[in-house]
């Protein structure tokens, strides 16, 4: 007889595991011992309560009691880690002892760590708002020409897009999304307490195509910056009222400290190369394609065998306009001070030659910061002055011969030589494009910008807890831009030279009066009250003149009167606005546990309509330091925990200076008594109710620290709702106008921000990491009954961006491509009965059996689904190494270069290699690329799903290796560091253009890649000396 046993392996295994666990527990119990002791402060020898005591490399621990005593079970060879807020972390080996008494040193930096906020500072532990703070050690490494580049990718909820990689090019900054359709979306900048107007002052040339906006922050030397705070929620920004809706960036420059004179010299040289060129057809591919296209249409070939032989290798136009760029930078600073007086001064020289021939920038910047401080009086001066020289090359969003260098290099006929047989620049009428080399070398376009800004302040302490302060500042800019198109260009040849000279200026003046009261009552109640008045005035002036038909190119733009009088063109303008404000804020701290911040601002602006001269912007924020509660003090793993919540209103007054008023302008001519007079008529309807755009924002945040703050971070959820957006609405024709501006629209942004900072490994080898993550959803919520608004025009395309209720702002709008028509398809019964095999198959979205404008649909969003940044810093002895990765996922970009390649306005224009080396033919029935034969019904100027591409990417933004040189024998040098840096060394992306982060429309929300100045890889070698 056979017996079968059913073995319960699960039960047997569980018994074994339980037995082993009990055995190990017993062994551990025998091997562990009780360690007890007291933690005291080295300052006053008193016991310290609430100190975390952790067994190193575990999560086991305890917390000291009210007298600083602790008890913990641990092994004899264990290491205990003692940490607490306000004290330097310390590790102590048990070494078999049962009694350990530990002295902790006060960490003054941590204890007194303050964050710059609007009109003051706050201890970081008392902060109730959503603020990202970055000091100079956390800035991006390498060649950084302006403030925004220092923090790109470093802060959660802040998206910084480089509008142009041109030397000195502008950027687009969005803090927690875009809030406006027709007003500005850029944040407010405040430098050392001076709110500045960051509008570009360098005028656009009316004769040179240049779509890129210059960065006004080029006037500030990044090496002078000590810290940057980004105010994001309403409780932090409402103190700036009608200028706070888009966020506020506070820049604090370096100040002197007590001690002997310190001298710093930092010099570097950088080398740049284009990261990626546009892969166009080479000469032989181009000739073959054009001949094949003619053959497919039953026409004679475009090129004969004799012509092909004469052409040879042709011209690679992109290779001809690009060159290795380089940058030289020299920075020298002096700092020091005594008991009452501190000083900091610096000078900076910066010279960059761009990767496109003839482009570049030079900067000369000086700064002086002075501070005097005694028991009753504090005085300060911050002054910055700069001279910036720009060398432009034509580049922008125009068409044909007005297109820029990059556009002509992409699409110019590669069979055309650089110069003809006579040595002149070769030109062709067939393509209707300029010779790109001639355009770069024979167009002179230069600008000079002078900017001086600064402030002087004085604060008097009436009582130790009561002070009054006056702050006066100014920001003055003047710019001159001169342009000349010589006869070596097509336009210049047709007009005998075109010259233009422009001057512009911008100035603002600030006066602030504030009073501050700060006092602690019975060591329980901490109160700070701020009140103030501010007045700021802005003025912009412009004048420009142009002429044509010169007898020689030798004069350039230096004598416009030498041109033909019939071609003279003069323009001028002036713009003013004023802002008068009252502000207040109360900070209340109870028991260092419960925090309250309430603020308000009342702004009166000349930009507002007569019936809405003042706007009111309140906010309130609450904070709860949960870690200080008794029920959490014993949780050793948890070193910090704070819950924050806020709500407030902010505004956007950047709606234009005169939109509420009746405007008059020249209109027609009339002759009276034989004299001709220019008529004047109304050009704009008034709106006395016009006002600011208002944003209400809710923020809920959590700040935390774990394992003695080895891991710290914050999580924020926000919900922003903007109302009263400025829109153009139709009005009765009887007014004489078709539209007028009204405050009627709405928009919403909501999202999540996460920031983490870790100390992974400590001495002797150190590894620190930081991570930020942002998720933002944008939605248009109200268009006042308008079905949609179409925007976007560049090259031969227009209306490719739509604003529609319920969708993200400036979504891409066009036709969906469902492949390519093939042989055998029933084309006559399709929605495109005139199509041919090899033509694109467009989707009949509305199902009416035909392809019309009603079939256009949303193709993508310019806003990413999420963004992230990952930074790692390593240090061992004299070596340091760091790298920073930036990621953007889920955004789209309109590749206009692809649209113009696949639908060339001229047969002889060059084309993208990808589309035409694998084009549809009867023997290559691909479903991806069309045949290239112009369709009978063309959609050449329309955006389609093939041209709207995924702009997601992961980029190695910066990487740096530094070595601190041993200088024991050189007493006059305190320290010396040699460093090498790489920037933009690789990008992982599916985007087929040059750079997925590009934006050809400057600070606009409309994103498109069209003739953009290419991104560069940069390699830097530098030396930093401290004397």
**pLDDT per residue over 830-849, tens digit each?**
999 999 999 999 999 999 99
The H-assigned helical ranges of 70-111 are 108-111
Q: Which of 102, 104, 130 is nearest to 115 (CA)?
A: 130
Q: Write out the two tokens for 494.
A: 């047709």
Task: Read off the pLDDT band of 21 (50, 70, 90).
Answer: very low
Task: Read off the pLDDT band of 764 (50, 70, 90).
Answer: confident
The answer to whether 845 and 818 are in contact (CB under 8 A) is no
Across 376-465, the runs of DSSP E, i.e. the strands, are 377-391, 443-463
In terms of phi and psi (left: phi > 0; alpha: psi -120 to 50; beta: otherwise), the region of 759 is: beta
For residue 23, pLDDT beyond 70: no
Radius of gyration of the chain (CA): 33
Distance CA 642, CA 191 (A): 29
Q: What is the mean pLDDT of residues 724-733?
A: 88
Distance CA 742, CA 322 (A): 47
Q: What is the mean pLDDT of residues 153-164?
A: 88
Longest Cα–Cα distance in the chain: 136
Paired residues of 590 in beta bridges = 525, 594
As a dihedral over the C-alpha atoms of residue 487, residue 426, residue 1000, residue 142, rounded to 10 degrees, the angle is -100
The answer to whether 478 and 452 are in contact (CB under 8 A) is no
The answer to whether 692 and 243 are in contact (CB under 8 A) is no
* C-alpha distances out from residue 90 to 44, 65, 140, 266, Å: 18, 18, 31, 35
Is 9-110 a CATH 3.40.640.10 domain? no
Q: Which of 202, 218, 216 is nearest to 446 (CA)?
A: 202
State residue 22's pLDDT score. Answer: 40
HSE at residue 630, side-chain half, CA atoms within 13 A, is 1
For residue 656, pLDDT beyond 90: no
Q: Is the dihedral of CA 175, 179, 185, 187 positive or negative?
A: negative
In terms of phi and psi (left: phi > 0; alpha: psi -120 to 50; beta: otherwise), the region of 247 is: left
Q: Write out the two tokens for 755.
A: 């920031």
Burial degree of 208 (CB within 10 A; 0-12, 13-18, 19+): buried
The answer to whether 12 and 4 are in contact (CB under 8 A) is no
For residue 165, pLDDT beyond 90: no
Q: Write out the two tokens for 991.
A: 């985007």
β-strands 341-353, 360-373: how paired? Answer: antiparallel
* DSSP state, residue 338: -
State residue 6's pLDDT score. Answer: 38
H-run or E-run covering 774: strand 765-782
State residue 25's pLDDT score. Answer: 42
Q: Write out the two tokens for 88.
A: 């330097």
* DSSP state, residue 809: T
For residue 804, pLDDT beyond 70: yes
Could you tell me which residues come within 8 angstroms of residue 399 by beta carbon, excluding any fewer than 6 positions away?
Answer: 795, 796, 905
Task: Read off the pLDDT band of 401 (50, 70, 90).
Answer: low
* C-alpha distances out from residue 448 to 34, 327, 817, Å: 74, 19, 47
Q: Which of 666, 471, 483, 473 is nearest to 583 (CA)?
A: 471
CATH superfamily, domain 131-277+322-655+690-814+862-903+939-1026, is TonB-dependent receptor, beta-barrel domain (2.40.170.20)
The H-assigned helical ranges of 143-272 are 147-151, 234-237
State residue 734's pLDDT score. Answer: 82
Task: Read off the pLDDT band of 147 (50, 70, 90).
Answer: confident
Distance CA 364, CA 331 (A): 10
Q: Is the dihedral of CA 55, 58, 64, 69 positive or negative?
A: negative
* C-alpha distances out from residue 278 to 71, 317, 411, 433, 589, Å: 68, 11, 10, 18, 59
User: Which SS3 state, helix, strand or coil, does residue 60 take?
Assistant: coil
User: Which SS3 state, helix, strand or coil, does residue 871 take?
Assistant: strand
The answer to whether 644 and 623 are in contact (CB under 8 A) is yes
CA angle 91, 95, 96 (to 5 degrees): 130
Q: What is the mean pLDDT of residues 150-163?
A: 89
Distance CA 286, CA 912 (A): 10
Q: State percent of the chain over pLDDT 70.
A: 95
Distance CA 727, CA 240 (A): 24
Could you tell me which residues come within 8 angstroms of residue 726 by beta carbon, excluding any fewer than 6 positions away?
Answer: 180, 181, 182, 183, 655, 659, 690, 693, 741, 742, 743, 745
Q: Which of 182, 170, 113 is nearest to 145 (CA)?
A: 170
Paired residues of 288 in beta bridges = none
Q: Which of 545, 539, 540 is nearest to 502 (CA)?
A: 545
As a dihedral over the C-alpha atoms of residue 501, residue 503, residue 504, residue 509, rounded to 10 degrees, the angle is 170
Backbone angles phi, psi at 218, to 5 degrees: -60, -20
For residue 821, pLDDT beyond 90: yes
Q: What would the DSSP string read from start to end of 687-728?
A: -TT---EEEEEEEEEEEEEETTTTEEEEEEEEEEEEEEEEEE
State residue 9's pLDDT score. Answer: 38
Task: Read off the pLDDT band of 693 (50, 70, 90).
Answer: very high
Burial string for 774-793 (b: 16+ CB within 10 Å, else e) reads bbbebbbebbeebeebebbb
pLDDT averaged over the chain?
90
Q: What is the mean pLDDT of residues 653-677?
A: 86
The answer to whether 242 and 652 are in contact (CB under 8 A) is yes
Distance CA 520, CA 288 (A): 84
Distance CA 602, CA 165 (A): 39
State residue 30's pLDDT score. Answer: 41
**Could you tell me how far CA 38 lies from the centroid of its own chain?**
50
CB-CB neighbours of 83 under 10 Å: 23
Tell me: the pLDDT tens digits for 527-580? 999 999 999 999 999 999 999 999 999 999 999 999 998 899 999 999 999 999
Distance CA 702, CA 624 (A): 10
Backbone angles phi, psi at 436, to 5 degrees: -60, -35
For residue 15, pLDDT beyond 60: no
Distance CA 995, CA 893 (A): 10
Q: Which of 112-116, 395-399, 454-458 has the highest mean pLDDT?
A: 454-458
Q: What is the mean pLDDT of residues 197-204?
A: 83
Block residue for tokens 């992982």: 988
Residue-range domain boundaries for the chain: 9-110, 131-277+322-655+690-814+862-903+939-1026
Distance CA 873, CA 762 (A): 12
State residue 8's pLDDT score. Answer: 47
Backbone angles phi, psi at 146, to 5 degrees: -155, 170
Tell me: the pLDDT tens digits for 901-951? 888 888 899 999 999 999 999 999 999 999 998 887 765 557 899 999 999
State residue 162's pLDDT score. Answer: 80
Task: Read off the pLDDT band of 207 (50, 70, 90).
Answer: confident
State residue 713's pLDDT score. Answer: 96
State residue 32's pLDDT score. Answer: 66
Could you tell me which residues come within 8 angstroms of residue 670 by beta carbon, excluding any fewer than 6 positions away?
Answer: 676, 677, 679
Task: Tell me the pTM.
Answer: 0.89
For residue 1002, pLDDT beyond 80: no
* DSSP state, residue 51: -
Q: Which of 522, 517, 525, 519 is nearest to 590 (CA)?
A: 525
CB-CB neighbours of 917 under 10 Å: 15
């Amino acid at each position: 007889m056979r017996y079968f046993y059913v073995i319960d392996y699960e039960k047997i295994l569980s018994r074994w595991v339980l037995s082993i666990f009990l055995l190990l527990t017993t062994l551990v119990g025998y091997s562990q011992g009780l360690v007890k002791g007291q933690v005291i402060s080295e300052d006053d020898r008193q016991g310290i309560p609430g100190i975390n005591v952790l067994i190193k490399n575990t999560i086991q621990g305890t917390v000291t009691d009210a007298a600083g005593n602790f008890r913990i079970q641990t092994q004899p060879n264990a290491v205990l880690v003692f940490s607490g807020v306000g004290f330097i972390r310390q590790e102590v080996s048990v070494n078999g002892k049962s009694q350990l008494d530990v002295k902790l040193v006060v960490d003054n930096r941590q204890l007194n760590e303050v964050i710059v906020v609007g009109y003051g500072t706050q201890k970081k532990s008392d902060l109730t708002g959503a603020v990202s703070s970055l000091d100079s050690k956390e800035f991006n490494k390498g060649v950084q020409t302006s403030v925004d580049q220092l923090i790109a990718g470093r802060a959660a909820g802040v998206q910084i897009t480089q509008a142009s990689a041109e030397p000195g090019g502008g950027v687009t900054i969005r803090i927690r999304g875009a809030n406006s359709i027709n007003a500005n979306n850029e944040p407010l900048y405040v430098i050392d307490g001076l709110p500045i107007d960051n509008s570009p002052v360098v005028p656009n040339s009316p004769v040179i195509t240049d779509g890129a906006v210059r960065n006004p922050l080029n006037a500030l030397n990044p090496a002078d910056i000590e810290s940057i705070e980004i105010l994001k929620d309403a409780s932090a920004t409402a103190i700036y009222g009608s200028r706070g809706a888009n966020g506020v960036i506070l820049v604090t420059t370096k100040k002197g400290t007590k001690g002997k004179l310190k001298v710093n010299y930092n010099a570097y040289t950088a080398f740049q190369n284009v990261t990626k060129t546009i892969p166009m057809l080479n000469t032989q591919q181009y000739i073959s394609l054009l001949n094949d296209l003619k053959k497919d249409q039953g026409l004679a070939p475009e090129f004969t065998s004799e012509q092909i032989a004469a052409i040879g290798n042709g011209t690679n136009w992109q290779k001809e306009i690009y060159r290795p760029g380089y940058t030289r930078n020299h920075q020298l600073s002096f700092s020091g001070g005594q008991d009452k007086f501190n000083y900091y001064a610096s000078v900076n020289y910066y010279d960059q030659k761009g990767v496109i021939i003839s482009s570049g920038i030079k900067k000369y910047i000086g700064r002086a910061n002075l501070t005097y401080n005694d028991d009753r009086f504090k005085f300060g001066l911050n002054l910055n002055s700069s001279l910036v020289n720009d060398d432009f090359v034509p580049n922008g969003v125009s068409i044909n011969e007005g297109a820029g260098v990059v556009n002509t290099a992409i699409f110019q006929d590669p069979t055309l030589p650089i110069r003809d047989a006579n040595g002149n620049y070769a030109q062709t009428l067939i393509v209707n494009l300029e010779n790109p080399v001639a355009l770069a070398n024979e167009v002179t376009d230069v600008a000079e910008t002078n900017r001086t800004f600064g402030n002087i302040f004085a604060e008097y302490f009436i009582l130790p807890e009561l002070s009054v302060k006056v702050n006066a500042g100014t920001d003055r800019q003047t710019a001159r831009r001169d342009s000349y198109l010589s006869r070596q260009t097509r336009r210049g040849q047709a007009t005998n030279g075109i010259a233009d000279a422009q001057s512009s200026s911008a100035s603002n003046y600030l006066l602030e009066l504030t009073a501050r009261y700060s006092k602690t009552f019975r060591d329980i109640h901490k109160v700070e009250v701020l009140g103030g008045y501010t007045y700021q005035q802005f003025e912009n002036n412009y004048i420009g003149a142009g002429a044509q038909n010169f007898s020689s190119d030798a004069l350039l733009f230096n004598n416009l009167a030498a041109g033909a009088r019939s071609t003279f063109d003069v323009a001028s303008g002036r713009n003013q606005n004023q802002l008068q404000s009252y502000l207040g804020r109360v900070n209340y701290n109870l028991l260092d546990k419960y925090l309250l911040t309430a603020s308000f601002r009342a702004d009166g602006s000349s930009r507002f309509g007569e019936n809405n001269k003042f706007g009111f912007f309140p906010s309130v924020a609450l904070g709860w330091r949960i870690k200080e509660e008794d029920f959490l003090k014993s949780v050793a793993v948890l070193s910090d925990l704070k819950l924050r919540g806020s709500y407030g209103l902010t505004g956007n007054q950047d709606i234009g200076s005169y939109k509420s008023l009746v405007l008059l302008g020249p209109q027609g001519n009339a002759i009276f008594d034989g004299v001709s007079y220019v008529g004047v008529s109304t050009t704009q309807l008034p709106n006395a109710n016009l006002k600011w755009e208002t944003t209400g924002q809710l923020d809920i945040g959590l700040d935390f620290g774990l394992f003695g703050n080895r891991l710290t971070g914050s999580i924020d959820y926000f919900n922003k709702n903007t109302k009263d957006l400025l829109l153009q609405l139709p009005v009765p024709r009887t007014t004489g106008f078709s539209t007028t501006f009204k405050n009627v629209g709405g928009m919403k942004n909501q999202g999540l921000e996460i920031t983490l900072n870790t100390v992974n490994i400590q001495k002797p080898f150190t590894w620190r990491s930081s991570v930020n993550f942002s998720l933002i959803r944008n939605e248009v919520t109200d268009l006042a009954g308008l079905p949609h608004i179409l925007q976007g025009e560049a090259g031969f395309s227009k209306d490719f961006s739509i604003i529609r209720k319920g969708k993200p702002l400036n979504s891409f709008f066009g036709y969906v491509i469902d492949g390519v028509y093939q042989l055998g398809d029933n084309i006559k019964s399709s929605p495109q009965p005139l199509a041919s095999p090899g033509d694109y198959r467009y989707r009949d979205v509305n199902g009416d059996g035909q392809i019309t404008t009603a079939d256009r649909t949303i193709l993508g969003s310019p806003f990413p689904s999420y963004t992230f940044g990952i930074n790692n810093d390593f240090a061992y002895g004299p070596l340091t190494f760091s790298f920073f990765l930036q990621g953007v996922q889920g955004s789209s970009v309109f590749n206009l270069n692809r649209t113009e390649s696949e639908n060339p306005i001229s047969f002889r224009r060059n084309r993208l290699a990808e589309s035409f080396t694998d084009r549809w033919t009867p023997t290559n029935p691909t479903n991806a690329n069309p045949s290239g034969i112009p369709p009978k019904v063309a959609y050449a100027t329309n955006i389609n799903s093939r041209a709207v591409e995924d702009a997601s990417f992961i980029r190695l933004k910066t990487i740096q290796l530094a070595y601190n040189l041993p200088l024991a024998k050189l007493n006059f040098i305190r320290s010396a560091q040699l460093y090498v840096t790489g920037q933009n060394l690789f990008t992982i992306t599916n985007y087929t253009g040059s750079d997925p982060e590009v934006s050809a429309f400057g600070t606009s929300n409309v994103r498109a890649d069209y003739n953009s100045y290419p991104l560069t890889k940069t390699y830097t070698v530098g030396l930093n000396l401290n004397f």
